[in-house]
């Protein structure tokens, strides 16, 4: 009869030989280890490859113990002569007496040796075991067999199990069942513990005598009952915490903490980094028609490449819709397997997961139908050849052109778009004989697939998310082990440097998605077990593999250190098998030591079955809950309390595949022993599932660190309470610096790095709890400042990739602390600036986390049915659980103290006008910029960048964001009569936001505070005039300016109607300089203009005919029905403008004008291309969103806007400034106001977040400028070479009553380099003499220019280079 069936994709296959069930084709309901062995026996000798090993006669891959292998090489007679113990002898003592004790049973030594090997294998094959452990294991192996014999198993039964020859006379049991039961009862459970597996090495040596009962049972006679009084548990007193004082921070070089690996474009990788023939085949010479490819493992030593191609052509018949059409598709499957293979496949038409019988038209040669839903096709054998250049030099012989390798390949041609279109294939692979089957073992043993459409579960645009969702959202078997193994593979494929020529951005994006997945898992949002049993050692090994992969990435990929550090915190450390096996073994050891029966319905037996079936991190909480139950004198409420705090309820306990239904049983006489046992067991659980337990991490890393430092020891002792929170935080920070010195600063060894990272994560957790404790302390200002510095430092250590901004702020903070101690009168103002910068850094970090993680969190969460709140709040919870949030809490407590010291109040008034309207709370000003409110609206905006347009109908904008007084939004608010202010007290603004939808009246009181009150709706109509858009002139007209006939205009020909106001004022400045109206020390840059109408003129050139038609169509289709629609349609217009080409002769004319003006022209074609790109960027800014909205709101016809472009050389500035010669906040005509930043002025006029250094000064008094605020912008801009800037100069700026300045872009030819600002070393911030001299000179220049231009208030932009003042442009102040 044929051997049993193998069911693959619904098709029954019979085999002439015992089938091989590979790990990739396990049944839907997999068995346990013993079950797998029994199943194989039932199948007539089938062998399970990749499943737990077992002995089977004739199996060519059977693995035997040392004794068995030696025995197998001897003749049969010799083997029998060794086994001289007969059945009769086994049942007697050496003296011939009847056996009354199990230990008297004699078992052949060769069988004991085999059993000892099996025990070692089941324990995970630990290496370097000590001799005493080996001896104990041998004794336990003997006892295992003795107990079997006692239970009626014959010696020949044991021999057959281990593939040994039988011995005549050994087929009868030595003992009857009745004799065995009596002897076992008399033993009182003494030896039952030996049937469990290996006792953990941490508790060795454990003599067998330890399993003896605590009550002696005398031989013969009647048993005596002994009553034992319960022993009371006395909780050991906590260690004395003491104090921690260290001056390590005073000698620490904080700059050494800065990561220098955050930049870079591409990961350096060899052209061919693959080491296998198939991976080289995949990476070499891929045609454009290749749309996707994946490389799979096939068994133990082969690979399979699946490549998907499609031919696409222009669809000439399409009048609308898609312009391209898929003509045909093909799937090419290639493998280097040496076994002849057959493809078992079906097609998908309506859904990606379908199995449909393919039409015969797509059958390759020799295809046959095997069911109503699938066919089979043999692979074609041949040679695969690659050119020598695809290999390393040492792999190629001199002169060799091609290297060939035997491969098998199969191509399946699929139809293109149309009625017969198919989504792709589903398939599995078998060998020719049908004895081996292969599925995707890295993806939950699912079928292989080649789908041209995404799965029904997801609209994921990338393969990584699609793979995750397919694994998680299906109904197949799936466990933590499979998840961890798949994550390891993905990290190696998508993130490992050198694996392919991927950009850093792509690697970071992939790592972020994998982190999201693992965090969902650690938070129990994804299943931990589904239809599959995993041994603890298998799970432990999977965890170990994943954590080592993560640690290796931390070592090798500096750009991934932030995310890999987070990732490691979601996975327990695991082990190579031994640690995981301890979980399974020790629970039985505990039960046997405490005489707890393996009886159904008992809580501990239910937990034991759960542990045996599938241990998870939940078991740590269950163990802690049971310990709480024991220590509370069996108070069951304590058990449920600890479970609840750990996120486990009764429903979860009952949901396990092996449910826990019962409650713990009180065992007062065993209480103390159980507490001791389970305290040790908790350590075992944590060593596998937790990883970041401080005490366990210290134990693991102690030797490598050379001992426990005072800082580390203080963190250990004080972590759970006691001591001072600041001292604990200081100890954590010092200890974390010690870990950097021990290897984290320059990691190389992945094993050691993993141990250090887990210890670092545990210290970070203790530090977070210390910050939480600090909120309960009544710290004064000095302690609050020290606390803030420590929390900043802790955050910097937690961001090894992206900590530069925080570290530079921390260095500045240290100087502020010194300034306070030194009596600096401005220390509080300085401190406030640093706090604002750090808050900005934290906000940017939160935004970065949200941008990288929230889309993936939404994609995975929705597909896997995760609760919507957990999905929506994913990124927020990541931040709230980390050190950045802890820092924000500390700064929130410190900020009001600093404002009080600096006499700042809670508000910065930017536009001081009254407002009456309805409150509307919004996330950001940008998201409502396109709105036209139908009733007066008081906007409370969480985010304001400074470059947004003020929405029509708004009467006030109030925010917690620091915004420059001279930002675009600020200027527009003042121009429109809108109240605009920053509130530094979040609680104050939150109280206003809580009135969302209610009418209020707001006004500025005392010049420095916004106050409001709720009013009746009727009051809104009365007060609506203030701030209403009607206060801005409507129906403004722009003259239609024609092209002047030439592409450039020199300085002396600047005139109205040809060039814009910036250029007109530049001419006026030059004339004033020449006429002596402004001081000679004010420098003016060389200038020329590309005049109004130039863009429109060259669009009429034949070379741009297509662009003109497309732009006209896009402009007509602009959709301003929503902010998203407007952004999309305007972006399309801008992209179209970028395709404008220069007509013949235009660039030559521009070059001639540049030379004549003294402006250095671009040196070569590449530089000219950059210049043209910058020019078209300025033209394209006509269609930026804020400009479009602004013009629409005041009724200006957008088609009438014309753009001239002022061209100037860029001054490589040390500082940049903007001056308003009349203070815009106070309207004081006698006072000048200015803002200064480090580097180029785009950081100021481009509205980069944070505030510039600001000052005011009386124009005529000659007094020292008064500092209003120190800088808090986190970046400065530089261009490290000579270049040009193209400044927008439209006819829609500086209109009467309308501030249009700043709506359009000014673009440098070379991209600015963004550098984190280092204020701690800059004289503008810390050298009072230098600062006073520089600011006075800037103020003097402003007054001189205002005077030269007939006393009209001016808005002036300029720079400082080597102490020299350059004024780059001026315009009338609005």
At 980, give phi and psi (nearest 5°).
-140, 125
The span from the CA of 455 to the CA of 352, in Å, is 6
Prior bond of 205 cis (ω within 30°):
yes
Name the residues annotated as catalytic.
968
- In sign, the C-alpha dihedral spanning 1202, 1206, 1210, 1214 is negative
Distance CA 307, CA 286 (A): 10
Q: Do 1269 and 1254 touch, CB atoms closer than 8 A?
A: yes
Radius of gyration of the chain (CA): 39
Strands (E), 1035-1140: 1049-1050, 1082-1083, 1088-1090
Q: Kind and range of the H or E element at 924?
A: strand 915-924
Contact between 140 and 194 under an 8 Å Cβ cutoff? The reply is yes
Tokens at residue 966, please? 């001279």
CA pair distance 1322, 1253, nearest whole angstrom: 12
In whole angstroms, what is the distance from residue 686 CA to residue 682 CA? 6
Q: Which helix (H) or strand (E) holds 1243?
A: helix 1242-1245
Q: How far is CA 711 from CA 254, 661, 698, 728, in A?
A: 18, 45, 12, 9
- Of the candidates 665, 663, 686, 684, the one whose C-alpha atom is nearest the C-alpha of residue 674 is 665
d(CA 340, CA 258): 56
Query: CB–CB of 107/139 below 8 Å?
Result: no
DSSP for 173-229?
A: -SS-HHHHHHHHHHHTTTTGGGGS-PPPGGG----GGGGS-SS---SSSPPPP---P
- Which residues, in sequence order, are CB contacts of 991 under 8 Å at separation 6+? none
Tokens 């947004």 -> residue: 948
Strands (E), 230-369: 290-298, 302-314, 324-335, 341-348, 368-369
Distances (CA, A) of 152 to 89, 165, 186, 189: 15, 20, 17, 18
User: Is the dihedral angle over the CA atoms 15, 21, 26, 30 positive or is it negative?
Assistant: positive
Do 973 and 957 meet the contact criterion of CB atoms below 8 Å apart?
A: yes
Take residue 1116 and report the two structure tokens written for it: 């007509």
How many whole angstroms from its chain centre is CA 921?
30
Those residues with Cβ within 8 angstroms of residue 73's Cβ, 6 or more apart along the chain or in another chain: none
Phi then psi dihedrals of residue 323, to 5 deg: -95, -10
CA dist., res. 1314 & res. 1062, Å (int): 27
Polymer length of the chain: 1374
For residues 281 and 386, is the Cβ–Cβ distance under 8 A? yes
Tokens matching residue 1146: 């235009």
Comparing CA positions, the residue from 1303, 1305, 1307 lying closest to residue 975 is 1303
Kindly give, in sequence order, each residue whose CB lies less than 8 Å from that of residue 267, ignoring residues fewer than 6 positions away. 497, 498, 501, 502, 503, 504, 507, 557
DSSP letters for 1116-1177: HT---SSHHHHHHHHHHHHHHHTT--PPTTHHHHHHHHHHHHTPPPP-SHHHHHHHHHHHHH
Residue 1286's closest CA among 1150, 1140, 1125? 1150
């Amino acid at each position: 009869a044929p051997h049993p069936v193998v069911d693959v994709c619904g098709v029954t296959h019979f085999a002439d030989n015992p089938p091989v069930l590979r790990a990739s084709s396990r049944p839907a309901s997999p068995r346990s280890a013993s079950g797998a062995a029994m199943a194989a026996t039932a199948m007539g000798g089938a062998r399970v490859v990749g499943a737990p090993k077992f002995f089977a006669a004739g199996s060519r891959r059977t693995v035997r113990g040392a004794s068995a292998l030696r025995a197998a090489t001897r003749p049969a007679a010799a083997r029998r002569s060794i086994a001289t113990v007969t059945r009769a002898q086994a049942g007697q003592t050496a003296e011939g007496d009847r056996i009354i004790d199990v230990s008297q049973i004699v078992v052949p030594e060769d069988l004991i040796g085999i059993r000892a090997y099996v025990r070692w294998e089941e324990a995970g094959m630990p290496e370097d075991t000590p001799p005493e452990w080996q001896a104990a294991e041998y004794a336990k192996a003997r006892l295992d067999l003795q107990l079997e014999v006692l239970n009626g198993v014959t010696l020949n039964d044991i021999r057959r199990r281990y593939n040994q020859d039988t011995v005549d006379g050994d087929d009868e049991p030595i003992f009857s069942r009745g004799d065995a039961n009596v002897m076992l009862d008399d033993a009182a459970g003494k030896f039952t513990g030996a049937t469990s597996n290996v006792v953990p090495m941490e508790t060795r040596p454990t003599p067998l005598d330890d399993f003896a009962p605590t009550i002696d049972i005398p031989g013969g006679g009647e048993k005596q009952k002994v009553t034992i009084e319960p022993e009371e548990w006395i909780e050991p007193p906590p260690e004395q915490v003491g104090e921690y004082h260290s001056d390590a921070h005073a000698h620490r070089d904080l700059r050494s903490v800065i990561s220098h690996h955050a930049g870079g474009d591409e990961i350096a990788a060899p052209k061919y980094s693959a080491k296998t023939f198939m991976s080289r085949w995949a990476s070499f010479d891929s045609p454009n028609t290749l749309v996707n490819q994946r490389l799979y493992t096939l068994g133990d030593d082969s690979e399979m490449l699946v490549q998907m191609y499609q031919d696409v052509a222009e669809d000439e018949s399409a009048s609308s819709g898609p312009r391209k059409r898929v003509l045909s598709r093909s799937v090419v499957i290639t493998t280097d397997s040496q076994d002849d293979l057959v493809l078992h496949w079906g097609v998908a038409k309506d859904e990606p997961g379908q199995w449909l019988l393919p039409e015969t038209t797509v059958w390759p040669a020799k295809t046959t139908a095997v069911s109503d839903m699938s066919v089979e096709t043999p692979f074609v054998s041949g040679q695969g050849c690659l050119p020598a250049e695809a290999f390393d030099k040492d792999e190629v012989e001199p002169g060799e052109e091609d290297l060939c390798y035997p491969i098998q390949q199969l191509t399946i041609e699929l139809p293109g778009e149309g009625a017969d279109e198919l989504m792709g294939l589903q398939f599995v692979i078998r060998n020719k004989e049908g004895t081996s089957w292969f599925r995707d073992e890295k993806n939950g043993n699912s079928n292989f697939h080649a789908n041209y459409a995404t799965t029904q579960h997801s609209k994921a645009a990338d393969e990584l998310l699609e793979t995750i969702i397919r694994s998680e959202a299906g109904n197949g078997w799936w466990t933590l082990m499979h998840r961890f193994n798949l994550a390891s593979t993905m990290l190696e494929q998508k993130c490992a440097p050198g694996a392919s020529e991927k950009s850093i951005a792509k690697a970071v994006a992939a790592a972020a998605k994998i982190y999201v997945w693992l965090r969902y898992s650690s938070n129990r949002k994804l299943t931990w077990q589904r239809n599959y049993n995993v041994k603890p050692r298998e799970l432990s090994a999977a965890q170990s593999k994943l954590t080592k992969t993560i640690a290796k990435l931390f070592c090798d990929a500096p750009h991934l250190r932030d995310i890999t550090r987070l990732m490691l915190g979601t996975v327990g450390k695991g082990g190579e098998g031994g640690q995981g096996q301890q979980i399974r073994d020790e629970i039985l050891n505990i039960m046997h030591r405490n005489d707890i029966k393996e009886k159904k319905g008992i809580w501990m037996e239910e937990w034991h079955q759960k542990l045996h079936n599938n241990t998870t991190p939940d078991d740590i909480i269950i163990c802690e809950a049971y310990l709480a139950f024991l220590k509370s004198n069996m108070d069951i409420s304590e058990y449920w309390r600890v479970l609840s705090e750990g996120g486990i309820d009764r429903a979860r306990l009952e949901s396990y595949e092996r449910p826990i239904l019962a409650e713990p049983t009180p065992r007062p006489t065993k209480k103390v022993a159980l507490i001791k046992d389970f305290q040790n067991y908790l350590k075992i659980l944590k060593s596998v599932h937790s990883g970041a337990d401080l005490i366990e991490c210290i134990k693991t890393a102690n030797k490598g660190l050379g001992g426990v430092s005072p800082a580390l020891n203080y963190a250990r002792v004080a972590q759970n309470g006691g001591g001072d929170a600041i001292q604990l935080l200081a100890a954590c920070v010092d200890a974390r610096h010690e870990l950097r010195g021990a290897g984290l600063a320059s990691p190389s060894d992945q094993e050691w790095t993993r141990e250090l990272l887990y210890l670092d994560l545990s210290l970070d957790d203790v530090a977070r709890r210390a910050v939480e404790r600090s909120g309960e302390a009544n710290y004064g200002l000095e302690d609050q400042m020290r606390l803030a510095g420590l929390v900043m430092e802790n955050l910097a250590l937690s961001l090894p990739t992206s900590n530069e901004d925080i570290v530079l702020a921390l260095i500045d903070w240290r100087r502020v602390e010194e300034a306070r101690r030194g009596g600096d009168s401005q220390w509080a103002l300085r401190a406030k600036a640093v706090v604002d910068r750090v808050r900005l850094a934290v906000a940017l970090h939160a935004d970065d986390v949200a941008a990288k993680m929230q889309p993936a969190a939404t994609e995975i969460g929705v597909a896997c049915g995760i609760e919507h709140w957990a999905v929506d709040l994913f990124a927020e919870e990541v931040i709230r659980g980390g050190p950045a949030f802890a820092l924000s809490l500390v700064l929130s407590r410190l900020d009001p103290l600093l404002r009080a010291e600096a006499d700042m109040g809670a508000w910065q008034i930017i536009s001081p006008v009254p407002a009456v309207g309805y409150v509307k709370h919004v996330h950001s000003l940008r998201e409502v910029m396109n709105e036209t409110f139908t009733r007066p609206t008081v906007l409370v905006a969480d985010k304001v960048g400074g470059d947004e347009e003020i929405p029509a109908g708004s009467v006030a904008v109030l925010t917690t964001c620091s915004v420059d007084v001279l930002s675009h939004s600020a200027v527009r608010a003042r121009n429109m009569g809108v109240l605009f202010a920053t509130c530094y007290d979040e609680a104050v603004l939150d109280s206003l936001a809580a009135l969302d939808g209610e009418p209020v009246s707001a006004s500025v009181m005392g010049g420095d505070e916004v106050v409001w009150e709720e009013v009746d709706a009727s009051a809104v109509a009365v007060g609506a005039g203030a701030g209403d858009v009607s206060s801005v002139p409507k129906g403004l007209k722009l003259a239609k300016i024609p092209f002047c006939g030439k592409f450039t205009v020199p300085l002396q020909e600047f005139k109205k109607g040809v060039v814009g106001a910036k250029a007109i004022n530049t001419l006026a400045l030059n004339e004033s300089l020449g006429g002596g109206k402004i001081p000679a020390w004010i420098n003016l840059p060389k200038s020329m203009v590309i005049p109004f109408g130039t863009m429109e003129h060259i669009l009429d050139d034949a070379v741009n005919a297509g662009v003109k038609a497309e732009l006209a169509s896009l402009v007509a289709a602009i959709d301003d029905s929503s902010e998203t629609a407007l952004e999309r349609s305007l972006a399309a217009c801008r992209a179209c403008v970028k395709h404008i080409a220069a007509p013949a002769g235009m660039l030559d004319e521009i070059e001639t004008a540049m030379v004549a003006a003294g402006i250095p022209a671009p040196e070569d074609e590449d530089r000219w291309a950059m210049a043209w790109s910058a020019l078209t960027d300025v033209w394209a800014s006509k269609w930026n969103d804020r400009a479009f909205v602004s013009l629409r709101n005041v009724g200006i016809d957008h088609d009438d806007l014309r753009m001239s472009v002022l061209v100037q050389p860029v001054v490589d500035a040390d500082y940049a400034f903007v001056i308003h010669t009349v203070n815009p906040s106070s309207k004081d005509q006698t006072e000048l106001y200015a803002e200064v930043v480090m580097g180029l002025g785009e950081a100021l006029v481009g509205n980069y977040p944070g505030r510039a250094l600001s000052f005011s000064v009386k124009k005529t008094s000659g007094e020292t400028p008064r500092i209003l605020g120190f800088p808090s912008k986190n970046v400065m801009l530089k261009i490290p070479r000579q270049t040009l800037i193209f400044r927008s100069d439209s006819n829609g700026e500086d209109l009467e009553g309308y501030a249009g300045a700043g709506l359009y872009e000014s673009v440098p030819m070379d991209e600015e380099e963004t550098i984190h600002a280092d204020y701690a070393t800059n004289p503008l911030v810390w050298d009072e003499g230098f600062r006073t001299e520089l600011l006075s000179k800037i103020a003097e220049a402003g007054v001189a220019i205002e005077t030269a231009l007939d006393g009209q208030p001016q808005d002036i932009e300029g720079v400082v280079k080597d102490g020299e003042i350059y004024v780059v442009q001026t315009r009338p102040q609005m």
